Chain A
């Protein structure tokens, strides 16, 4: 764990993997768009994108980890080539099932069940801090996001 304060892993992974949009028509599309950077890099395949969407259909919107923030992910069934994370910020929240509003998406692609833990740890230390959460919901560019991440703790 990085007690030093710099969330290096998270900011490293998110670099060039962020998108900022006004709105999207549906939650399914929010996942597709948010995952696009990972898809472009070949870290995941389209099957993984579909798996993340199916996961919500099947298990409910539990990927909405805290109000307003979703972490779309699914089991790796051979659809993930490299661990990665991408980010999407929506000005107007999109509605997930059960009426859950989401304006931030952190797409997680975990190659195995341990390799990405540092990433998760970083994300956790951001979300645990309410001040950071508030700021996170207001970021409007990748630079802002990265500097916010790096200044945590």
Chain B
């Protein structure tokens, strides 16, 4: 491998790791988004079956439930259950500290909370007086959580509010200058950060209503509510996405396009941030076409469903309206597809190289790859828990774990949990999973996205030696 190629692959690996982190934070919570989306589409005053009582859930769910879930998942990914608790504690601070749904903030504060408690636990490791573990564990989260709550209330919340104010000002400037298609540059990122209602109802609807009074319709009602770009994105995910994202996208289409709940596609953009380009391009195309045909709506389409679009289109605007939505869909579909395709391709390469590595795990190249895995993945920059796995969880994994523990002991490295499990029982907060190469596929199936080290020798494998060295190095730099 030339050094240039190596550098390239490591940058790519890094981007993928960050992307994977976002995906893992969002994906487990998609169900909650869908539940919220269905509820909203059905019961809000402009929904299918308006119901004042049930609609009361809508606000608290998007303000509290969804961000808290994201923050909790983010925290858990960094520091297990203690991290999840810290993440949620931090998120409530910024939720209350601001007036808009705090998704982006939650995705920052969650992992941050996890990181804080992880660092703290690390510093106390092996220094806890016996018998005080429980009280220390609880009060450490209690006190650090308290600080984090106040911090996020006063610092992070306002920062994101500030970003919101900036968005509002920029939009007003662009409208004043008449650069309508450029609005997408701000609209789309702002939407994905869940500012959609703020910009739509706070800026575009008032502008639109003024227009309507004078000319009977307005393009401003469409600039941020066009369901086309989201549809294109979700279609692309339905065809070219992977695994869970691919399977959930079709359902999201129905809720998004017909139900008008744009929030459904936001997670997909958040997990593959590059697709924001597709959204912007789609949005611009839509605005350009609407503009060209002088199309507009008579009122704000809330929710931004295709059906409310049709209902609010005045005579003479239908062609422009349909074309605008269609063009936006096509553009965002094509660009998202390209992005996903490129991404898949590099993933394939990655898989290919990892299976290559598997087949010659004993060779020196394996060393480099393992190093890369260990240094690149955020969850494993610190190795606290190594789990050996095998079929029964009693024989070879126990032998491997025992031997590795002994080696750690010999090097006077402490504070690392090395245990053995059945593949299916390996706990999620393991930083490294060690498994025989024959069982790699099964381990992968069960523990996708984890650092799996394959070995072919439970006692003395090059990969294990490498792992030992890495652990030793990590401990060394911390001391």
A contact residues vs B (CB 8 Å cutoff): 55, 59-63, 65-67, 71, 73-76, 108, 110, 112-113, 116-117, 120-121, 123-125, 127-128
Contact = CB atoms under 8 A, between A and B. Distances in A.
- Sort A-B residue pairs by CB-CB distance and give the 9 closest, nearest first: A60-B438, A73-B395, A62-B436, A75-B392, A110-B394, A62-B438, A124-B403, A65-B458, A124-B402
A75 B399 CA distance: 15
B369 to A, nearest CB: 20
Given A55-B391, A66-B458, A110-B394, A60 B439 contact: yes
Contacts of B396: 62-63, 65, 71, 73
Q: Main SS of the interface on chain A?
A: loop
Interface of B: 390-396, 398-400, 402-403, 406-407, 420, 422, 436-439, 442, 457-460
A65 B455 CA distance: 10
A107 B192 CA distance: 58
A44 B370 CA distance: 40
A120 B439 contact: no
Nearest to A75: B392
B399 A63 contact: no
A55 B422 CA distance: 14
6 contacts: A59-B439, A74-B395, A75-B392, A113-B394, A117-B398, A127-B403
Nearest to A110: B394
B406 A120 contact: no
Contacts, number: 83
Contact of A65 (B394, B437, B439, B457): B457
Nearest to B395: A73
A76 B407 CA distance: 29
Nearest to A125: B406
B402 A121 contact: yes
A128 B438 contact: no
B459 A74 contact: no
A61 B436 CA distance: 9
A76 B394 CA distance: 9
Which residue, of B394, B399, B436, has the highest number of chain A Cβ atoms within 10 A? B394
B394 A75 contact: yes
Contacts of B407: 128
Contacts of B398: 110, 113, 116-117, 120
Given A113-B393, A124-B403, 8 more contacts: A60-B436, A67-B457, A73-B395, A76-B392, A76-B394, A113-B392, A113-B398, A120-B395
Given A59-B438, A62-B439, A66-B460, A124 B399 contact: yes
Given A60-B439, A62-B439, A120-B402, A128 B460 contact: yes
